[in-house]
Copies of this chain bind each other. A is one copy, B any other.
Amino acid sequence: MLNQSASLDLLFQALADPSRRAMVGRLSRGPASVSELAKPLSMSLPAVVQHLQVLEASGLVRSAKVGRVRTCRIEPKALRTAEDWIAERRTSWERRLDRLGEYLAEHPDEPNPASKP
């Protein structure tokens, strides 16, 4: 298993491409075959398969072949991992702002603590 940091590298890398985001967007509405994924994208099937491999390596998508059709599904846990990483940093910043606002409300005449080193 990959460590947390390497997983996040692959997750964000996978999401950094518009075609792969389009594939994730399509799969968020339900499972799809590789050719269904390829249909709205103006690229060759091998190019789509390559993007799919990046998505699978990141854990965002899983696929299984039944007969001649490979069906792809989204892996919501992986989306959640990336989302949570961002949300934790954003809320950490917002809590800091809240504390600063409270401090300033309670100490209107003192210098701003944020300006100290």
User: Which residues of A pack against B, CB within 8 Å?
Assistant: 5, 8-9, 11-13, 15-18, 21, 24-25, 27-31, 74, 76, 79-80, 82-83, 85-90, 92-94, 96, 114
Contact = CB atoms under 8 A, between A and B. Distances in A.
B89 A86 contact: no
A66 B93 CA distance: 22
B93 A28 contact: yes
Q: Please state the number of chain copies in the assembly.
A: 2
A39 to B, nearest CB: 13
Given A12-B15, A29-B96, A30-B114, A21 B76 contact: no
Nearest to A4: B18
Rank and list the top 8 A-B pairs by shortest CB-CB distance, nearest first. Answer: A12-B16, A28-B89, A12-B15, A13-B16, A28-B92, A83-B86, A79-B90, A28-B93
